[in-house]
Amino acid sequence: MFKLKNLLFLLLLPAFCYSQSSILFVGNSITYVNDLPAVFDTIARANARSIYIKSVAYPGFSLKNHLNSVLKQTHNPDFMWRERLSATDTTLPEAVRALMQRQWEYIYLQDRQSGEDSIEYALKQIRKMAPDSRIMLFGNYVYQTPESPKNEARRNLKNAKQLEKLCSLIDATLIPANTVFLEIKRSFPNEVLFDDTMHPTAFGTRIIALLLYTRMYGESGQPINRHTLAMTDRQWLIVCSTFGYK
């Protein structure tokens, strides 16, 4: 009987652990190109973490687009999201239904390349929908404009400060892809991080996933190696340099 109880415990343990951690991804093609959620899951599993993951991402969507039909009806700043909205209401946007679906431990938010005014209201409403979740706000990289590389650096640093301000308003954590990509471009100028002026390469997506993991758990994700994420020797060197791996 003792052995049977232990066997049942071991069989139930993975399911129990799986329910303890969860993350919702909300974004656009920057999130689903190269499947950021799946790459993140690979890193988490390599570190013996099991996480329930859901992703809601559509081409060109901003956070306001994800919430738009609801935001038009909720001008009252005291609107009680969880008392008025239901995860089973099929008339609601998919992202809103996902936010209502459960108490997410983490919520990853990725907006378009836009300034603070265009996303502040959406962020505040998402915080109302998920008051107890840890919100992880993606720092979009502002790609080089025709003016000069110096302008590119200046724009990214300015964007990072704007996003840090937004994070402080809603008690969120910044995923600083903008400044980290900038540092990689300075140190490894020949490494290609973008397929175009917006979407990261497969390697760029791996950097974002590692940034997310380190900010979520306060650890490096060191058990991974270059084979875990299918990297070249040069790319692994960049990862080691960026994240302090040995």
Percent share of the chain, pLDDT over 70? 79
CA distances to 1, 141, 190, 195, 198 from 150, in Å: 70, 14, 17, 21, 18
How high is the pLDDT of residue 17? 44
Identify which of 195, 156, 162, 160 has the alpha carbon closest to the alpha carbon of residue 175. 160
Q: Which tokens hold the place of 152?
A: 């590119």
How high is the pLDDT of residue 73? 56
pLDDT in tens, 68-82: 766 655 555 555 555
Identify which of 32, 29, 82 has the alpha carbon closest to the alpha carbon of residue 55. 32
37-51, 91-105, 202-216: range with lowest mean pLDDT:
91-105
What contacts 161, CB < 8 A, 6 or more positions away?
Answer: none
Give the predicted TM-score (pTM) of the model. Answer: 0.84
pLDDT at 13 over 80: no
107-116, 215-224, 234-243: range with lowest mean pLDDT:
107-116
Mean pLDDT of 49-62: 94
pLDDT in tens, 130-184: 999 999 999 988 776 555 566 777 888 888 888 999 999 999 999 999 999 999 9
pLDDT in tens, 37-54: 999 999 999 999 999 999
- What is the 8-class DSSP label of residue 229? T
Let me know: does 169 contact 123? Beta carbons within 8 Å: yes
How high is the pLDDT of residue 14? 46
Q: How far apart are CA 205 and CA 38, in angstroms?
A: 10
- Which amino acid, 110? Q
pLDDT at 128 over 60: yes
How high is the pLDDT of residue 72? 58
Let me know: does 110 contact 138? Beta carbons within 8 Å: yes
Instruction: Please provide the size of the chain in residues.
Output: 246
Listed ranges 109-113, 169-173, 222-226; the one with the highest mean pLDDT: 169-173
Mean pLDDT of 113-124: 73
Let me know: does 107 contact 99? Beta carbons within 8 Å: yes
